């Protein structure tokens, strides 16, 4: 099955609420590779890659976020899969 990849920006109350750890756990449960990090503007950025249905499922989950988060918006755009990625990392 071909891999698909998306770059993502999540806005709202998404920092200081364990959003990155939650994202990592959800992505790993879906079998995705990639990374998540806090952005200087208070948003969270991510790179998701894997099976198209799993990436779409993750985008839906990001729209809800963990219990303490208040997601305002999720923006995503297609990007090229990175063959060097394995697993899902939290970046600083």
Q: Which residues are catalytic?
A: 20, 38
Q: What is the largest CA-CA distance in the chain?
A: 36
Task: Return the axis-axis angle of helices 19-29 and 52-64, rounded to nearest 10°.
Answer: 150
Cβ(8)–Cβ(31) under 8 Å?
no
What sign does the dihedral 40-43-48-52 (CA atoms) show? negative
- Among candidate residues 70, 2, 1, 61, the one with its CA nearest the CA of residue 28: 61
């Amino acid at each position: 099955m071909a891999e698909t990849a998306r770059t993502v920006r999540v806005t709202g109350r998404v920092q200081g609420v364990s959003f990155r750890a939650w994202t990592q756990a959800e992505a790993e449960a879906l079998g995705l590779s990639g990374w998540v990090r806090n952005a200087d503007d208070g948003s969270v950025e991510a790179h998701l890659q894997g099976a198209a249905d799993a990436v779409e499922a993750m985008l839906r989950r990001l729209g809800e976020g963990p219990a303490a988060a208040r997601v305002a918006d999720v923006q995503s755009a297609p990007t090229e899969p990175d063959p060097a990625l394995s697993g899902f990392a939290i970046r600083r």
